[in-house]
Structure 1
Amino acid sequence: MSGSNIDTKSLLEQVGQATSDGKITASAAENIEIWLTEDRYSRYAEQVAEHITSGKWKELDDAFWTIIPFGTGGRRGKMYAFGSNAINERTIGESAQGLAEYVKENVTGELSCALAYDTRHRSREFAELCARIMVSNGFKVYFLDDYRSTPELSFLVRYKKCSCGIMVTASHNPPSDNAVKVYWSTGGQVMPPHDKAIIDRVMNVQDIPLGVEFDAAVAEGKVVICTAETDEAFINAVKQQKFDGPRDLKILYSPLHGVGASAVVPALAADNFTDVTIFGPHKEPSGDFPNVPGHVSNPENPQVFDAIIEQAKKDGSELILATDPDCDRVGVAAPKTMDTTGEWGTFTGNQIGVLLADHVLSERKKGGGLTPEHYVVETLVTTKMVRRIADSYGVRTCGNLQVGFKWIGGTMDAEGPDKFVFGCEESHGYLVGQYARDKDAAVASMLLAELAANCKKEGKSLHEKLESLWWQHGYHAERLLNQKMPGSEGMANMQKLMAKFRAEPPQSVGGLKLVAIRDYQADTVTTVDGQTSKLNGPPGNLVILDLEDDNYVAVRPSGTEPKVKFYMFSYVAPEQLSLMDAAQEEMEARLDAFEKDLSAFAASV
């Protein structure tokens, strides 16, 4: 069946009947018609037609029920050969072309774009496609010609003073997915108003120019391979964030089949950590992510560490670090005591943030470099313990931010990067230094190794260090519950659930009474007696339920995946702590109760 022989009228009649029969959604039918009838999608018409005649309605609905959006980090989704709701040559190409058009309209001077990619399937192919598109639009492209980290891409944008940047990665998503993250000239991910303006261009892309082959563009100097130069400069910038101290520590590191060996290992070496082993079963760069539970390389998942911990117990390792495929997030495991053959435990993203915040602030204070103008940055769903630690060191906290590290990067520029000390988010993202505007697992790994070596010298474990911080600042326990809502029905249910939280919120959660509702979309605070006032918060689809005794729950739809996220926060003030074990048990029970009530509330939609 050739494009010219496609009976478009018959195909659209079949699509209409499938819509009437409830086999596909009306929005999918609209997008299918566009891909069948508009010239810009003509090369995909045969494949779409074959799916229609074969009755592959589920695949068609998944591929077309919406137009894949820009979320908190860019455009991300499942790879499929065609479709408006899939990652493929067309949607990747539209993303690059839309970016190019917007930058050309809004940036003066020489145009340039930084480009990098991770170990996922088709990442190199998509990176070369983006490079060709940018060159065809008059951009010089600075290209990292091997698997490299997202923070190194952020660094490269700043290092080469690029107009923009593109990172091909889907972070810690399953092997089926890929994505592009789009960066502005700051080295940060695109923010308002640029993000919405770029997506407007993306949605209206007609032709995608591919006037030059990748190798020819390299030969002509339009694509500049700068991998070795950028690696050296990047690691040197990370090294500048180090602090002096002991380095006697045996480290076991897992890149989880991603790019991390190119960043974490040289960063540790630059900080004089010499006893570092890469965990063999996770060493191979692979988009299939073998030997990882569920083939999902997410260091937020404690099960990822099970096999690594067993190896650590055998070889006497004292710290485990693991980074996600694009090496912007880091997870940590350590022995509960100084006995490396005994019980080990992982840390949540909030707990890692707490440990790093205290380490960096403590070391900066020793150097006499802290002033009341210095600041740390976190988001609205990051633990308040970071703020309490910052308060104890007499520095500011900028925390009235929506979810996503781009807001942390944006705050650095708004507040002035010279006074920036530390940025973190609960999803295992951390930054120290001015060299990037995105989270960096390399610098976080280096500083965590320093802290673990300091603790070892003091005769305590990382877990014991965290407990000492709880005694000082109060016991904080947080938990994340992901309520998955896939497909077109899921999107509708996500919207219904958010609407219900706003209009008919639960009057208690886990036995704690509701005190107020913070609605960041409406910019209002409503107390239980119905009094409403202005919130003065950052706009976004986020609702926070404030409960008794400084406990609270934040609710938001994910910006990159089909699910609603519940962030649960419990707290025991330091003056109320008597037995740590009892407080931990009580807060775990409280979070269990939160989770039970929130799951039931979500199921009622």
Structure 2
Amino acid sequence: MTEESSSAIKNWLSLDFDEATRSEASSFSPQECADRLDPHKRLTFGTAGLRAKMGAGFDRMNCLTVMQATQGLCVYLLDTYGEKALREQGVVIGYDGRHNSRKFAHVTAAVFISKDTKVYLFDKSTTCTPFTPYLVKRNDCLCGVQVTASHNPKEDNGYKVYGRNGAQIAPPTDEEISGRIADNLKPWKESLDLLDLDGTGLLKSNLCVCEPYDDVFDSYMNRITAELCRFPDKNAHCQLRFVYTAMHGVGLPFTTGLISKFGFPQGTVDVLQSQALPDPEFPTVKFPNPEEKGALDLAL
């Protein structure tokens, strides 16, 4: 191993607190060290937040880069709104069914909890992305974070940030957050102390967070139905039939729930069972994007 590689690995290990990526980085070749452990090649935080392959390295989605992003976001919120607002109004965090999504969400929560922030963490189950910005807007929270890579390949994950208005952040907010990330790269000890680093890597079980799943599920469904269900009588007599696939994502309970709330007859929708439940391996579809050629072959 070259001196440069050894130095790069040592620097990474001084920051990384997740055993899986520490082990991965320790076995990197000199080229991998140059490509992935160079701090100057770190993930760029933009209006879409973060999105990249998972794995060790500053250019990947992992517990360290998620914690660094969250520390920057937290400092931005403190600078913009103040301690009292962050503590009382809080933030919303949700996640999908991909590998590491729950762990990344818990790392995100730990950072905010360490600053006495009120945290609404969807942790009863994976959740669809719209629930997070919906709760931000409904409860006047300061921001929302959804850990998801949408329709990307299984190797990827992402970190989407929503502002106080419930919309995806826009310039110059992303640049202001990015600057604070760069100033807060060392993991905060107070955050690390909240995580079970010797076990699951998740939040320690005695921590108090708000679990909003059931409340938001009902509230969201009722709100959407009230605003968008304009022809319930026609819906009730609909004779068309549809096929629905979640493509191994998290959409099944929310989609079927809304179809029922809109009053469509039972049996209107045929659910493709082989793709109905969350599966981080996406075993039947390489790109879970309906726009990709072949993605809907099983459904059709």
Q: Does 1:68 find its partner at 2:43?
A: yes
The CA deviation at 1:77 is 0.3
> Which blocks of at least 5 consecutive residues in structure 2 are unaligned?
196-202
Q: Does 1:124 find its partner at 2:102?
A: yes
Among candidates 232, 237, 243, match of residue 223 of structure 2: 237
The CA deviation at 1:197 is 0.7
Counterpart of 1:516? none
Distance of aligned partners of 1:302 and 1:237 in 2 relative to their CA distance in 1, 3 Å threshold: farther
Partner amino acid for 2:116? G
Counterpart of 2:276? 283
Distance of aligned partners of 1:50 and 1:190 in 2 relative to their CA distance in 1, 3 Å threshold: same
User: What is the alpha-carbon root mean square deviation over aligned residues?
Assistant: 2.5
SS of 2:113's partner is helix
SS of 2:151's partner is coil
Distance of aligned partners of 1:90 and 1:273 in 2 relative to their CA distance in 1, 3 Å threshold: same
Among candidates 297, 321, 329, match of residue 288 of structure 2: 297
SS of 1:116's partner is strand
Percent identity between matched residues is 27
Correspondence list, 1:200-349, <5 A: 200-205=179-184, 206-208=186-188, 209-210=190-191, 211-213=193-195, 214=203, 215-218=205-208, 223-239=209-225, 240-244=227-231, 246-247=234-235, 248=238, 249-274=240-265, 275-292=268-285, 295-309=286-300
The CA deviation at 1:83 is 1.1
The CA deviation at 1:303 is 1.6
Counterpart of 1:187? 166
Alpha-carbon distance in structure 1 between the residues aligned to 2:25 and 2:248: 37
Contact 1:115 1:144 in 2 (8 A): yes
SS of 2:58's partner is coil
Q: Does 1:11 find its partner at 2:29?
A: no
Contact 1:153 1:165 in 2 (8 A): yes
Among candidates 130, 133, 151, match of residue 172 of structure 1: 151
Alpha-carbon distance in structure 1 between the residues aligned to 2:261 and 2:16: 52
Contact 2:46 2:175 in 1 (8 A): no
Contact 2:25 2:57 in 1 (8 A): no
- Greater relative contact order (Cα < 8 A, sep 6+): 2
Distance of aligned partners of 1:121 and 1:196 in 2 relative to their CA distance in 1, 3 Å threshold: same
Alpha-carbon distance in structure 2 between the residues aligned to 1:178 and 1:86: 9
> Which blocks of at least 5 consecutive residues in structure 1 are unaligned?
1-6, 16-31, 310-605
Distance of aligned partners of 1:153 and 1:49 in 2 relative to their CA distance in 1, 3 Å threshold: closer
Distance of aligned partners of 1:93 and 1:84 in 2 relative to their CA distance in 1, 3 Å threshold: same
The CA deviation at 1:62 is 4.6
Correspondence list, 1:41-52, <5 A: 41=15, 47=23, 50-51=26-27
Contact 1:40 1:207 in 2 (8 A): no
Alpha-carbon distance in structure 2 between the residues aligned to 1:251 and 1:49: 47
The CA deviation at 1:231 is 0.5
The CA deviation at 1:63 is 5.6
Alpha-carbon distance in structure 2 between the residues aligned to 1:140 and 1:43: 24
Counterpart of 1:137? 115
Distance of aligned partners of 1:40 and 1:255 in 2 relative to their CA distance in 1, 3 Å threshold: same
Counterpart of 1:436? none
Contact 1:148 1:262 in 2 (8 A): no
Distance of aligned partners of 1:90 and 1:272 in 2 relative to their CA distance in 1, 3 Å threshold: same
Contact 1:252 1:277 in 2 (8 A): yes
Contact 1:163 1:185 in 2 (8 A): yes
Structure with max Cα Rg:
1
